[in-house]
Structure 1
Protein backbone atom coordinates (compact mmCIF):
# COMPACT_ATOMS: atom_id res chain seq x y z
CA UNK A 1 0.00 0.00 0.00
CA UNK A 2 1.45 3.35 -0.94
CA UNK A 3 1.75 6.23 1.47
CA UNK A 4 -0.92 8.50 -0.06
CA UNK A 5 -3.44 5.65 0.03
CA UNK A 6 -2.86 5.12 3.74
CA UNK A 7 -3.44 8.81 4.46
CA UNK A 8 -6.53 8.93 2.26
CA UNK A 9 -8.01 5.92 4.04
CA UNK A 10 -7.46 7.55 7.43
CA UNK A 11 -9.16 10.72 6.19
CA UNK A 12 -12.14 8.69 4.99
CA UNK A 13 -12.38 6.89 8.34
CA UNK A 14 -12.38 10.22 10.19
CA UNK A 15 -15.02 11.74 7.88
CA UNK A 16 -17.35 8.75 8.27
CA UNK A 17 -16.97 8.81 12.05
CA UNK A 18 -17.52 12.58 12.23
CA UNK A 19 -20.66 12.46 10.09
CA UNK A 20 -22.08 9.63 12.15
CA UNK A 21 -21.35 11.39 15.44
CA UNK A 22 -22.92 14.65 14.27
CA UNK A 23 -26.23 12.94 13.39
CA UNK A 24 -26.18 10.90 16.58
CA UNK A 25 -25.44 13.92 18.76
CA UNK A 26 -28.55 15.74 17.48
CA UNK A 27 -30.75 12.68 18.05
CA UNK A 28 -29.40 12.05 21.56
CA UNK A 29 -29.82 15.70 22.53
CA UNK A 30 -33.44 15.62 21.37
CA UNK A 31 -34.09 12.41 23.30
CA UNK A 32 -32.32 13.74 26.39
CA UNK A 33 -34.34 16.97 26.42
CA UNK A 34 -37.62 15.11 25.86
CA UNK A 35 -36.98 12.38 28.43
CA UNK A 36 -34.89 14.30 30.94
CA UNK A 37 -32.54 11.30 31.16
CA UNK A 38 -29.10 12.13 32.57
CA UNK A 39 -27.46 9.27 30.70
CA UNK A 40 -29.04 10.37 27.42
CA UNK A 41 -27.80 13.94 27.89
CA UNK A 42 -24.37 12.54 28.80
CA UNK A 43 -24.42 10.48 25.63
CA UNK A 44 -25.35 13.65 23.71
CA UNK A 45 -22.31 15.39 25.25
CA UNK A 46 -20.28 12.29 24.37
CA UNK A 47 -21.28 12.52 20.72
CA UNK A 48 -20.71 16.30 20.60
CA UNK A 49 -17.23 15.74 22.02
CA UNK A 50 -16.60 12.97 19.48
CA UNK A 51 -17.79 15.20 16.61
CA UNK A 52 -15.48 18.01 17.68
CA UNK A 53 -12.70 15.47 18.05
CA UNK A 54 -13.21 14.27 14.48
CA UNK A 55 -12.97 17.86 13.23
CA UNK A 56 -9.68 18.29 15.08
CA UNK A 57 -8.42 14.94 13.77
CA UNK A 58 -9.32 15.94 10.21
CA UNK A 59 -7.38 19.16 10.78
CA UNK A 60 -4.50 17.10 12.17
CA UNK A 61 -4.33 14.99 9.01
CA UNK A 62 -4.43 18.02 6.71
CA UNK A 63 -1.93 20.13 8.67
CA UNK A 64 0.44 17.23 9.23
CA UNK A 65 0.49 16.28 5.53
CA UNK A 66 2.00 19.59 4.37
CA UNK A 67 5.30 19.14 2.52
CA UNK A 68 8.66 20.03 4.05
CA UNK A 69 10.05 23.52 3.51
CA UNK A 70 13.17 25.52 4.43
CA UNK A 71 11.95 26.26 7.97
CA UNK A 72 10.67 22.73 8.59
CA UNK A 73 13.01 20.44 6.63
CA UNK A 74 11.53 17.31 8.21
CA UNK A 75 7.97 18.31 7.36
CA UNK A 76 4.94 19.02 9.53
CA UNK A 77 4.08 15.48 10.59
CA UNK A 78 4.41 16.19 14.31
CA UNK A 79 1.80 18.94 14.05
CA UNK A 80 -0.80 16.22 13.56
CA UNK A 81 -0.01 15.04 17.11
CA UNK A 82 -0.56 18.57 18.46
CA UNK A 83 -4.12 18.69 17.10
CA UNK A 84 -4.79 15.11 18.12
CA UNK A 85 -3.62 16.02 21.65
CA UNK A 86 -6.07 18.94 21.67
CA UNK A 87 -8.80 16.53 20.59
CA UNK A 88 -8.03 14.24 23.54
CA UNK A 89 -8.14 17.20 25.94
CA UNK A 90 -11.52 18.29 24.55
CA UNK A 91 -12.92 14.80 25.11
CA UNK A 92 -11.53 14.92 28.65
CA UNK A 93 -13.01 18.33 29.53
CA UNK A 94 -16.24 18.56 27.53
CA UNK A 95 -17.38 14.95 27.29
CA UNK A 96 -16.20 13.40 30.55
CA UNK A 97 -16.66 16.53 32.63
CA UNK A 98 -20.27 17.03 31.61
CA UNK A 99 -21.20 13.36 31.95
CA UNK A 100 -19.80 12.98 35.45
CA UNK A 101 -21.14 16.32 36.71
CA UNK A 102 -24.61 15.76 35.28
CA UNK A 103 -24.70 12.19 36.56
CA UNK A 104 -23.85 13.25 40.11
CA UNK A 105 -26.53 15.96 39.92
CA UNK A 106 -29.11 13.40 38.82
CA UNK A 107 -28.14 11.04 41.65
CA UNK A 108 -28.67 13.86 44.15
CA UNK A 109 -31.79 15.46 42.61
CA UNK A 110 -33.53 12.44 40.97
CA UNK A 111 -35.29 14.38 38.17
CA UNK A 112 -36.85 12.69 35.14
CA UNK A 113 -39.78 13.57 32.91
CA UNK A 114 -40.75 9.91 32.53
CA UNK A 115 -40.73 9.65 28.70
CA UNK A 116 -38.56 6.57 28.10
CA UNK A 117 -39.66 5.35 24.67
CA UNK A 118 -37.84 8.04 22.70
CA UNK A 119 -34.63 7.20 24.57
CA UNK A 120 -34.83 3.54 23.58
CA UNK A 121 -35.45 4.39 19.91
CA UNK A 122 -32.55 6.84 19.73
CA UNK A 123 -30.21 4.43 21.54
CA UNK A 124 -31.04 1.62 19.09
CA UNK A 125 -30.55 3.82 16.01
CA UNK A 126 -27.34 5.29 17.44
CA UNK A 127 -25.97 1.82 18.13
CA UNK A 128 -26.53 0.81 14.51
CA UNK A 129 -24.84 3.94 13.12
CA UNK A 130 -21.88 3.72 15.51
CA UNK A 131 -21.43 0.07 14.55
CA UNK A 132 -21.01 1.05 10.90
CA UNK A 133 -18.36 3.64 11.78
CA UNK A 134 -16.51 1.20 14.05
CA UNK A 135 -16.61 -1.51 11.38
CA UNK A 136 -14.82 0.78 8.92
CA UNK A 137 -12.13 1.64 11.48
CA UNK A 138 -11.76 -2.04 12.41
CA UNK A 139 -11.26 -3.02 8.75
CA UNK A 140 -8.49 -0.46 8.41
CA UNK A 141 -6.83 -1.69 11.62
CA UNK A 142 -6.89 -5.29 10.33
CA UNK A 143 -5.45 -4.31 6.93
CA UNK A 144 -2.65 -2.30 8.51
CA UNK A 145 -1.82 -5.00 11.05
CA UNK A 146 -1.43 -7.54 8.23
CA UNK A 147 0.82 -5.15 6.33
CA UNK A 148 3.05 -4.72 9.37
CA UNK A 149 2.86 -8.47 10.11
CA UNK A 150 1.51 -8.08 13.65
CA UNK A 151 -1.74 -8.55 15.54
CA UNK A 152 -4.54 -5.94 15.32
CA UNK A 153 -4.31 -5.28 19.06
CA UNK A 154 -0.53 -4.75 18.95
CA UNK A 155 -0.84 -2.52 15.88
CA UNK A 156 -3.51 -0.43 17.58
CA UNK A 157 -1.38 -0.08 20.71
CA UNK A 158 1.84 0.92 18.91
CA UNK A 159 0.65 2.68 15.76
CA UNK A 160 1.74 6.27 15.11
CA UNK A 161 -1.51 6.86 13.18
CA UNK A 162 -3.26 8.41 16.17
CA UNK A 163 -6.25 9.50 14.08
CA UNK A 164 -7.16 5.88 13.34
CA UNK A 165 -6.47 4.95 16.95
CA UNK A 166 -8.71 7.78 18.17
CA UNK A 167 -11.60 6.83 15.88
CA UNK A 168 -11.40 3.16 16.86
CA UNK A 169 -11.25 3.85 20.60
CA UNK A 170 -13.96 6.53 20.51
CA UNK A 171 -16.34 4.40 18.46
CA UNK A 172 -15.74 1.45 20.80
CA UNK A 173 -16.36 3.69 23.80
CA UNK A 174 -19.49 5.04 22.10
CA UNK A 175 -20.98 1.54 21.77
CA UNK A 176 -20.16 0.74 25.40
CA UNK A 177 -21.62 4.09 26.44
CA UNK A 178 -24.84 3.34 24.58
CA UNK A 179 -25.15 0.04 26.42
CA UNK A 180 -24.55 1.80 29.74
CA UNK A 181 -27.14 4.45 28.88
CA UNK A 182 -29.66 1.80 27.88
CA UNK A 183 -29.06 -0.08 31.14
CA UNK A 184 -29.41 3.10 33.16
CA UNK A 185 -32.65 4.16 31.49
CA UNK A 186 -34.09 0.65 31.71
CA UNK A 187 -33.27 0.19 35.41
CA UNK A 188 -34.66 3.63 36.19
CA UNK A 189 -37.93 2.76 34.44
CA UNK A 190 -38.17 -0.63 36.17
CA UNK A 191 -37.36 0.61 39.67
CA UNK A 192 -38.72 4.14 39.43
CA UNK A 193 -35.42 5.35 40.88
CA UNK A 194 -33.33 7.79 38.82
CA UNK A 195 -30.23 6.69 40.74
CA UNK A 196 -29.46 4.16 37.99
CA UNK A 197 -29.68 6.80 35.26
CA UNK A 198 -27.25 8.99 37.18
CA UNK A 199 -24.86 6.10 37.81
CA UNK A 200 -24.88 5.25 34.08
CA UNK A 201 -24.03 8.88 33.31
CA UNK A 202 -21.07 8.82 35.73
CA UNK A 203 -19.81 5.54 34.23
CA UNK A 204 -20.00 7.06 30.74
CA UNK A 205 -17.89 9.95 32.00
CA UNK A 206 -15.30 7.58 33.50
CA UNK A 207 -15.19 5.69 30.18
CA UNK A 208 -14.49 8.96 28.35
CA UNK A 209 -11.78 9.81 30.86
CA UNK A 210 -10.02 6.52 30.12
CA UNK A 211 -10.16 7.06 26.35
CA UNK A 212 -9.01 10.68 26.63
CA UNK A 213 -6.10 9.77 28.93
CA UNK A 214 -4.96 6.98 26.59
CA UNK A 215 -5.00 9.23 23.52
CA UNK A 216 -3.36 12.16 25.33
CA UNK A 217 -0.51 9.93 26.54
CA UNK A 218 0.03 8.46 23.06
CA UNK A 219 0.17 11.85 21.35
CA UNK A 220 2.43 13.32 24.03
CA UNK A 221 4.87 10.43 23.59
CA UNK A 222 4.95 10.98 19.83
CA UNK A 223 5.41 14.73 20.24
CA UNK A 224 8.45 14.15 22.44
CA UNK A 225 9.94 11.94 19.72
CA UNK A 226 9.07 8.24 19.92
CA UNK A 227 11.06 5.52 18.19
CA UNK A 228 9.43 2.87 16.04
CA UNK A 229 8.47 -0.37 17.86
CA UNK A 230 11.48 -2.44 18.91
CA UNK A 231 10.61 -5.35 16.61
CA UNK A 232 10.66 -3.07 13.57
CA UNK A 233 13.89 -1.41 14.67
CA UNK A 234 15.59 -4.79 14.93
CA UNK A 235 14.27 -5.84 11.53
CA UNK A 236 15.78 -2.66 10.05
CA UNK A 237 19.08 -3.31 11.83
CA UNK A 238 19.24 -6.89 10.55
CA UNK A 239 18.46 -5.72 7.01
CA UNK A 240 21.30 -3.17 7.10
CA UNK A 241 23.71 -5.61 8.73
CA UNK A 242 23.05 -8.11 5.94
CA UNK A 243 24.47 -5.84 3.23
CA UNK A 244 27.69 -7.25 1.69
CA UNK A 245 29.99 -4.29 2.49
CA UNK A 246 28.80 -3.90 6.09
CA UNK A 247 30.65 -5.41 9.05
CA UNK A 248 28.11 -4.37 11.66
CA UNK A 249 25.70 -1.66 12.75
CA UNK A 250 27.10 0.16 15.78
CA UNK A 251 24.08 2.40 16.45
CA UNK A 252 20.60 2.65 14.95
CA UNK A 253 18.19 5.44 15.85
CA UNK A 254 14.62 5.81 14.64
CA UNK A 255 11.94 8.45 15.18
CA UNK A 256 8.33 8.91 14.14
CA UNK A 257 8.22 12.29 12.37
CA UNK A 258 4.51 11.87 11.67
CA UNK A 259 1.85 9.19 11.24
CA UNK A 260 3.43 8.03 7.99
CA UNK A 261 6.97 9.48 8.21
CA UNK A 262 9.92 7.69 9.81
CA UNK A 263 13.50 8.91 10.25
CA UNK A 264 16.30 6.32 10.40
CA UNK A 265 19.92 7.15 11.28
CA UNK A 266 22.69 4.59 11.71
CA UNK A 267 26.41 4.45 12.43
CA UNK A 268 27.74 1.78 10.09
CA UNK A 269 31.08 -0.01 10.24
CA UNK A 270 31.93 -0.83 6.60
CA UNK A 271 34.55 -3.37 5.59
CA UNK A 272 38.09 -2.02 5.69
CA UNK A 273 38.66 -2.85 2.02
CA UNK A 274 35.41 -1.23 0.86
CA UNK A 275 35.99 1.48 -1.74
CA UNK A 276 34.17 4.78 -1.84
CA UNK A 277 32.14 3.59 -4.81
CA UNK A 278 31.21 0.38 -2.98
CA UNK A 279 30.08 2.35 0.07
CA UNK A 280 27.92 4.61 -2.11
CA UNK A 281 26.38 1.60 -3.82
CA UNK A 282 25.73 -0.03 -0.44
CA UNK A 283 24.02 3.12 0.84
CA UNK A 284 21.76 3.17 -2.24
CA UNK A 285 20.95 -0.51 -1.76
CA UNK A 286 20.20 0.08 1.93
CA UNK A 287 17.74 2.83 1.05
CA UNK A 288 16.08 0.73 -1.64
CA UNK A 289 15.84 -2.34 0.59
CA UNK A 290 14.39 -0.54 3.61
CA UNK A 291 11.93 1.62 1.69
CA UNK A 292 10.70 -1.37 -0.24
CA UNK A 293 9.73 -3.02 3.05
CA UNK A 294 8.80 0.19 4.89
CA UNK A 295 7.49 2.91 2.53
CA UNK A 296 6.97 5.17 5.56
CA UNK A 297 10.75 5.75 5.85
CA UNK A 298 11.12 9.32 4.65
CA UNK A 299 14.75 9.97 5.68
CA UNK A 300 17.65 7.52 5.94
CA UNK A 301 21.09 8.67 7.12
CA UNK A 302 24.11 6.33 7.22
CA UNK A 303 27.26 7.52 9.02
CA UNK A 304 30.38 5.47 8.16
CA UNK A 305 32.32 4.86 11.37
CA UNK A 306 35.59 3.16 12.19
CA UNK A 307 35.87 -0.20 13.88
CA UNK A 308 35.45 -0.13 17.65
CA UNK A 309 38.13 -1.61 19.92
CA UNK A 310 37.73 -5.28 20.72
CA UNK A 311 35.60 -5.88 23.83
CA UNK A 312 38.56 -7.24 25.84
CA UNK A 313 40.47 -3.97 25.33
CA UNK A 314 37.65 -1.73 26.55
CA UNK A 315 37.57 -0.75 30.25
CA UNK A 316 39.75 -3.77 31.07
CA UNK A 317 36.81 -6.14 30.83
CA UNK A 318 36.98 -9.75 29.80
CA UNK A 319 35.08 -10.63 26.60
CA UNK A 320 31.64 -12.08 27.25
CA UNK A 321 30.59 -15.31 25.52
CA UNK A 322 27.72 -14.94 23.03
CA UNK A 323 24.26 -15.80 24.33
CA UNK A 324 22.41 -18.54 22.44
CA UNK A 325 22.89 -18.76 18.70
CA UNK A 326 22.95 -15.00 18.16
CA UNK A 327 19.61 -14.85 16.36
CA UNK A 328 16.94 -12.26 17.11
CA UNK A 329 13.33 -13.11 17.69
CA UNK A 330 11.43 -10.52 15.63
CA UNK A 331 8.25 -11.21 17.54
CA UNK A 332 9.55 -9.54 20.74
Structure 2
Protein backbone atom coordinates (compact mmCIF):
# COMPACT_ATOMS: atom_id res chain seq x y z
CA UNK A 1 0.00 0.00 0.00
CA UNK A 2 2.78 2.40 0.77
CA UNK A 3 4.24 2.10 -2.68
CA UNK A 4 1.08 2.56 -4.67
CA UNK A 5 -0.70 4.87 -2.29
CA UNK A 6 2.17 7.31 -1.90
CA UNK A 7 2.27 7.01 1.89
CA UNK A 8 5.75 8.55 2.05
CA UNK A 9 4.58 11.53 -0.01
CA UNK A 10 1.51 11.97 2.21
CA UNK A 11 3.58 11.86 5.42
CA UNK A 12 6.13 14.31 3.99
CA UNK A 13 3.33 16.69 3.04
CA UNK A 14 1.65 16.32 6.44
CA UNK A 15 4.82 17.14 8.41
CA UNK A 16 5.75 20.03 6.11
CA UNK A 17 2.26 21.57 6.14
CA UNK A 18 1.86 21.27 9.91
CA UNK A 19 5.10 23.13 10.52
CA UNK A 20 4.35 25.70 7.83
CA UNK A 21 0.86 26.35 9.21
CA UNK A 22 2.24 27.23 12.64
CA UNK A 23 4.90 29.51 11.16
CA UNK A 24 2.38 31.28 8.90
CA UNK A 25 -0.04 31.93 11.76
CA UNK A 26 2.79 33.45 13.77
CA UNK A 27 3.65 35.56 10.75
CA UNK A 28 0.04 36.70 10.36
CA UNK A 29 -0.20 37.69 14.03
CA UNK A 30 2.98 39.75 13.71
CA UNK A 31 2.34 41.34 10.30
CA UNK A 32 -1.44 41.36 9.85
CA UNK A 33 -0.95 40.23 6.22
CA UNK A 34 -4.11 38.78 4.63
CA UNK A 35 -1.92 36.76 2.25
CA UNK A 36 -0.29 35.16 5.29
CA UNK A 37 -3.68 34.45 6.84
CA UNK A 38 -4.97 32.87 3.62
CA UNK A 39 -1.84 30.75 3.37
CA UNK A 40 -2.17 29.79 7.05
CA UNK A 41 -5.70 28.49 6.51
CA UNK A 42 -4.52 26.79 3.32
CA UNK A 43 -1.78 24.95 5.23
CA UNK A 44 -4.19 23.93 8.01
CA UNK A 45 -6.55 22.56 5.35
CA UNK A 46 -3.70 20.70 3.66
CA UNK A 47 -2.56 19.19 6.97
CA UNK A 48 -6.10 17.96 7.65
CA UNK A 49 -6.30 16.66 4.10
CA UNK A 50 -3.21 14.50 4.49
CA UNK A 51 -4.72 13.08 7.67
CA UNK A 52 -7.87 12.18 5.74
CA UNK A 53 -5.85 10.50 2.98
CA UNK A 54 -4.07 8.35 5.57
CA UNK A 55 -7.42 7.52 7.18
CA UNK A 56 -8.80 6.47 3.80
CA UNK A 57 -5.84 4.14 3.24
CA UNK A 58 -6.44 2.58 6.64
CA UNK A 59 -10.20 2.05 6.35
CA UNK A 60 -9.85 0.71 2.80
CA UNK A 61 -7.94 -2.29 4.19
CA UNK A 62 -11.00 -3.61 6.03
CA UNK A 63 -12.06 -7.10 5.03
CA UNK A 64 -15.10 -7.64 2.84
CA UNK A 65 -18.40 -8.33 4.60
CA UNK A 66 -21.78 -9.67 3.50
CA UNK A 67 -22.99 -6.08 3.31
CA UNK A 68 -19.93 -4.96 1.35
CA UNK A 69 -18.88 -8.12 -0.54
CA UNK A 70 -16.37 -6.25 -2.72
CA UNK A 71 -14.61 -4.72 0.26
CA UNK A 72 -13.91 -1.10 1.13
CA UNK A 73 -11.37 -0.09 -1.50
CA UNK A 74 -13.46 2.90 -2.53
CA UNK A 75 -12.92 4.48 0.88
CA UNK A 76 -9.74 5.91 -0.64
CA UNK A 77 -11.79 7.58 -3.37
CA UNK A 78 -14.32 8.88 -0.84
CA UNK A 79 -11.74 10.51 1.43
CA UNK A 80 -9.91 11.97 -1.57
CA UNK A 81 -13.20 13.52 -2.68
CA UNK A 82 -13.67 15.00 0.81
CA UNK A 83 -10.14 16.42 0.57
CA UNK A 84 -11.05 18.17 -2.68
CA UNK A 85 -14.15 19.67 -1.06
CA UNK A 86 -12.14 20.88 1.93
CA UNK A 87 -9.55 22.45 -0.34
CA UNK A 88 -12.36 24.37 -2.04
CA UNK A 89 -14.21 25.47 1.10
CA UNK A 90 -11.38 26.04 3.61
CA UNK A 91 -8.78 27.09 1.07
CA UNK A 92 -10.28 28.78 -1.99
CA UNK A 93 -13.48 30.23 -0.53
CA UNK A 94 -11.74 31.68 2.53
CA UNK A 95 -8.90 33.19 0.48
CA UNK A 96 -11.34 34.79 -1.95
CA UNK A 97 -13.40 36.24 0.91
CA UNK A 98 -10.33 37.57 2.72
CA UNK A 99 -8.87 38.93 -0.52
CA UNK A 100 -12.01 40.88 -1.40
CA UNK A 101 -12.14 42.28 2.14
CA UNK A 102 -8.50 43.41 2.07
CA UNK A 103 -8.83 44.96 -1.38
CA UNK A 104 -11.86 46.94 -0.24
CA UNK A 105 -10.32 47.81 3.14
CA UNK A 106 -6.50 47.61 2.83
CA UNK A 107 -4.46 47.69 6.03
CA UNK A 108 -0.80 48.58 6.48
CA UNK A 109 1.53 45.65 7.16
CA UNK A 110 3.67 45.63 10.28
CA UNK A 111 7.07 43.87 10.20
CA UNK A 112 6.74 42.68 6.58
CA UNK A 113 10.26 41.27 6.70
CA UNK A 114 9.00 38.60 9.09
CA UNK A 115 6.41 37.53 6.53
CA UNK A 116 9.04 37.40 3.78
CA UNK A 117 11.35 35.19 5.87
CA UNK A 118 8.53 32.82 6.81
CA UNK A 119 7.35 32.57 3.20
CA UNK A 120 10.86 31.79 1.93
CA UNK A 121 11.28 29.04 4.54
CA UNK A 122 7.81 27.69 3.67
CA UNK A 123 8.73 27.59 -0.02
CA UNK A 124 11.79 25.48 0.84
CA UNK A 125 9.68 23.02 2.88
CA UNK A 126 6.96 22.80 0.24
CA UNK A 127 9.61 22.19 -2.42
CA UNK A 128 10.82 19.18 -0.41
CA UNK A 129 7.26 17.85 -0.09
CA UNK A 130 6.60 18.40 -3.80
CA UNK A 131 9.85 16.62 -4.75
CA UNK A 132 8.83 13.63 -2.62
CA UNK A 133 5.41 13.48 -4.32
CA UNK A 134 7.06 13.59 -7.75
CA UNK A 135 9.47 10.81 -6.79
CA UNK A 136 6.63 8.58 -5.53
CA UNK A 137 4.50 9.31 -8.61
CA UNK A 138 7.21 8.48 -11.15
CA UNK A 139 7.07 4.85 -10.06
CA UNK A 140 3.53 4.48 -11.44
CA UNK A 141 3.27 7.35 -13.94
CA UNK A 142 4.84 5.46 -16.82
CA UNK A 143 5.02 7.28 -20.14
CA UNK A 144 2.02 9.49 -19.42
CA UNK A 145 2.32 13.24 -19.10
CA UNK A 146 1.81 14.68 -15.62
CA UNK A 147 -1.62 15.95 -16.63
CA UNK A 148 -2.42 12.53 -18.07
CA UNK A 149 -1.32 10.96 -14.80
CA UNK A 150 -3.65 13.21 -12.79
CA UNK A 151 -6.53 12.48 -15.18
CA UNK A 152 -6.03 8.72 -15.57
CA UNK A 153 -4.51 7.50 -12.32
CA UNK A 154 -6.66 5.06 -10.35
CA UNK A 155 -4.57 5.76 -7.24
CA UNK A 156 -6.16 8.92 -5.82
CA UNK A 157 -3.68 10.02 -3.16
CA UNK A 158 -0.72 10.91 -5.36
CA UNK A 159 -2.62 13.18 -7.78
CA UNK A 160 -4.18 14.90 -4.74
CA UNK A 161 -0.81 15.46 -3.05
CA UNK A 162 0.82 16.56 -6.32
CA UNK A 163 -1.81 19.20 -7.02
CA UNK A 164 -1.95 20.30 -3.38
CA UNK A 165 1.81 20.77 -3.25
CA UNK A 166 1.87 22.56 -6.59
CA UNK A 167 -0.92 24.84 -5.39
CA UNK A 168 0.91 25.45 -2.12
CA UNK A 169 4.12 26.43 -3.92
CA UNK A 170 2.41 28.83 -6.31
CA UNK A 171 0.28 30.18 -3.45
CA UNK A 172 3.41 30.96 -1.45
CA UNK A 173 4.88 32.74 -4.46
CA UNK A 174 1.68 34.79 -4.85
CA UNK A 175 1.78 35.66 -1.14
CA UNK A 176 5.42 36.69 -1.43
CA UNK A 177 4.63 38.86 -4.45
CA UNK A 178 1.67 40.46 -2.64
CA UNK A 179 3.71 41.26 0.47
CA UNK A 180 6.70 42.41 -1.59
CA UNK A 181 4.67 44.78 -3.76
CA UNK A 182 2.93 46.16 -0.68
CA UNK A 183 6.33 47.04 0.78
CA UNK A 184 7.83 48.40 -2.46
CA UNK A 185 4.82 50.50 -3.49
CA UNK A 186 3.64 51.40 -0.01
CA UNK A 187 0.14 50.31 -1.07
CA UNK A 188 -1.26 47.43 1.06
CA UNK A 189 -3.90 46.67 -1.58
CA UNK A 190 -1.33 44.40 -3.25
CA UNK A 191 -1.52 42.09 -0.24
CA UNK A 192 -5.25 41.68 -0.90
CA UNK A 193 -4.61 41.09 -4.60
CA UNK A 194 -2.09 38.37 -3.72
CA UNK A 195 -4.73 36.77 -1.52
CA UNK A 196 -7.25 36.82 -4.38
CA UNK A 197 -4.72 35.12 -6.65
CA UNK A 198 -4.27 32.40 -4.04
CA UNK A 199 -8.05 31.92 -3.87
CA UNK A 200 -8.42 31.62 -7.65
CA UNK A 201 -5.53 29.15 -7.84
CA UNK A 202 -6.92 26.95 -5.06
CA UNK A 203 -10.38 27.08 -6.63
CA UNK A 204 -9.06 25.79 -9.96
CA UNK A 205 -7.12 22.98 -8.29
CA UNK A 206 -10.04 22.05 -6.02
CA UNK A 207 -12.54 21.90 -8.91
CA UNK A 208 -10.13 19.75 -10.93
CA UNK A 209 -9.77 17.33 -8.03
CA UNK A 210 -13.51 17.27 -7.36
CA UNK A 211 -14.19 16.28 -10.98
CA UNK A 212 -11.52 13.57 -11.03
CA UNK A 213 -12.34 12.11 -7.60
CA UNK A 214 -16.07 12.09 -8.39
CA UNK A 215 -15.34 10.08 -11.52
CA UNK A 216 -13.36 7.52 -9.52
CA UNK A 217 -15.94 7.42 -6.74
CA UNK A 218 -18.88 6.58 -9.01
CA UNK A 219 -16.80 3.99 -10.87
CA UNK A 220 -14.20 4.06 -13.64
CA UNK A 221 -13.30 1.17 -15.90
CA UNK A 222 -10.03 0.22 -17.54
CA UNK A 223 -8.36 2.64 -19.88
CA UNK A 224 -8.22 1.86 -23.58
CA UNK A 225 -4.73 0.33 -23.46
CA UNK A 226 -5.49 -1.83 -20.44
CA UNK A 227 -8.81 -2.97 -21.93
CA UNK A 228 -7.06 -3.98 -25.15
CA UNK A 229 -4.60 -6.02 -23.08
CA UNK A 230 -7.43 -7.79 -21.23
CA UNK A 231 -9.32 -8.59 -24.43
CA UNK A 232 -6.10 -9.81 -26.06
CA UNK A 233 -5.40 -12.19 -23.17
CA UNK A 234 -8.97 -13.51 -23.21
CA UNK A 235 -9.09 -14.27 -26.93
CA UNK A 236 -6.48 -17.01 -26.96
CA UNK A 237 -6.89 -20.72 -27.60
CA UNK A 238 -10.46 -21.95 -27.34
CA UNK A 239 -11.97 -18.46 -26.93
CA UNK A 240 -13.06 -17.21 -30.34
CA UNK A 241 -13.98 -13.68 -29.30
CA UNK A 242 -15.23 -11.50 -26.46
CA UNK A 243 -18.96 -10.95 -26.95
CA UNK A 244 -19.08 -8.16 -24.39
CA UNK A 245 -17.01 -7.01 -21.43
CA UNK A 246 -17.41 -4.65 -18.48
CA UNK A 247 -14.66 -3.47 -16.15
CA UNK A 248 -14.69 -1.30 -13.05
CA UNK A 249 -12.13 -0.30 -10.43
CA UNK A 250 -13.69 -1.03 -7.04
CA UNK A 251 -10.50 0.25 -5.42
CA UNK A 252 -7.15 1.57 -6.61
CA UNK A 253 -5.63 -1.92 -6.52
CA UNK A 254 -8.67 -4.03 -7.38
CA UNK A 255 -10.21 -4.32 -10.85
CA UNK A 256 -13.50 -6.13 -11.47
CA UNK A 257 -13.89 -7.81 -14.88
CA UNK A 258 -17.09 -9.40 -16.18
CA UNK A 259 -17.18 -10.78 -19.72
CA UNK A 260 -19.12 -13.13 -21.96
CA UNK A 261 -16.86 -15.25 -24.17
CA UNK A 262 -17.70 -17.01 -27.42
CA UNK A 263 -16.20 -20.51 -27.14
CA UNK A 264 -15.37 -22.99 -29.87
CA UNK A 265 -18.38 -25.15 -30.73
CA UNK A 266 -18.40 -28.78 -29.67
CA UNK A 267 -16.29 -28.38 -26.58
CA UNK A 268 -16.88 -30.66 -23.61
CA UNK A 269 -17.82 -29.13 -20.25
CA UNK A 270 -14.41 -29.96 -18.80
CA UNK A 271 -12.71 -28.28 -21.77
CA UNK A 272 -14.82 -25.15 -21.32
CA UNK A 273 -13.93 -24.99 -17.61
CA UNK A 274 -10.23 -25.43 -18.39
CA UNK A 275 -10.36 -22.72 -21.08
CA UNK A 276 -12.04 -20.29 -18.65
CA UNK A 277 -9.43 -21.02 -15.96
CA UNK A 278 -6.62 -20.44 -18.46
CA UNK A 279 -8.18 -17.15 -19.58
CA UNK A 280 -8.42 -15.92 -15.98
CA UNK A 281 -4.80 -16.85 -15.33
CA UNK A 282 -3.58 -15.03 -18.44
CA UNK A 283 -5.48 -11.87 -17.52
CA UNK A 284 -4.21 -11.86 -13.93
CA UNK A 285 -0.63 -12.32 -15.13
CA UNK A 286 -0.96 -9.39 -17.57
CA UNK A 287 -3.04 -7.12 -15.29
CA UNK A 288 -2.17 -7.77 -11.61
CA UNK A 289 -4.98 -5.51 -10.35
CA UNK A 290 -7.55 -7.83 -11.99
CA UNK A 291 -8.49 -9.63 -8.79
CA UNK A 292 -12.18 -10.26 -9.46
CA UNK A 293 -12.92 -11.94 -12.78
CA UNK A 294 -16.28 -13.38 -13.81
CA UNK A 295 -16.33 -15.07 -17.22
CA UNK A 296 -19.45 -16.52 -18.86
CA UNK A 297 -18.95 -18.98 -21.71
CA UNK A 298 -21.37 -18.81 -24.64
CA UNK A 299 -21.62 -19.63 -28.34
CA UNK A 300 -20.99 -17.10 -31.08
CA UNK A 301 -24.44 -16.46 -32.50
CA UNK A 302 -23.33 -13.70 -34.88
CA UNK A 303 -25.11 -14.21 -38.23
CA UNK A 304 -22.77 -15.62 -40.86
TM class, shorter-chain normalised? over 0.9
1:43 equivalent in alignment to 2:36:
no
Tell me the residue number matched to 1:69.
Answer: 65
1:161 equivalent in alignment to 2:155:
yes
Q: Structure 1 stretches (4+) deviating beyond 4 angstroms?
A: none
Unaligned runs of 5+ in 2: none
More displaced, 110-119 or 163-172? 110-119
Match of 1:266 among 259, 271, 285: 259
* Distance change (3 Å), C-alpha of 1:151 and 1:202: closer
Q: Deviations over 1:194-242 (max 9, x none)?
A: 121111101101111111111111221122221122221122112212x
CA drift at 1:172 = 0.6
Contact 1:35 1:115 in 2 (8 A): yes
Tell me the residue number matched to 2:245.
Answer: 252
Q: Deviations over 1:54-87 (max 9, x none)?
A: 1111111111221212221101011222222111
1:107 equivalent in alignment to 2:100:
no
1:200 equivalent in alignment to 2:194:
yes
Contact 2:52 2:79 in 1 (8 A): yes
Q: Deviations over 1:124-162 (max 9, x none)?
A: 11111111111111112211023xx54443222211211
Tell me the residue number matched to 2:207.
Answer: 213
Provide the C-alpha distance between the structure 2 equivalents of 1:145 and 1:86, rounded to a whole number of angstroms: 24
Tell me the residue number matched to 1:238.
Answer: 232
Q: State the secondary structure of the residue aligned to 1:97.
A: helix
Tell me the residue number matched to 2:118.
Answer: 122
Number of aligned residue pairs: give it. 304
CA drift at 1:275 = 2.7
Match of 1:174 among 168, 173, 198: 168
More displaced, 184-193 or 300-309? 300-309
Tell me the residue number matched to 1:314.
Answer: none
Counterpart mapping for 1:119-158 below 5 A: 119-146=115-142, 150-158=144-152
Match of 1:298 among 285, 291, 296: 291
Match of 2:87 among 75, 86, 91: 91
Tell me the residue number matched to 2:3.
Answer: 6
1:58 equivalent in alignment to 2:54:
yes
Contact 1:99 1:204 in 2 (8 A): yes
Contact 1:53 1:90 in 2 (8 A): yes
TM-score by length of 1: 0.87
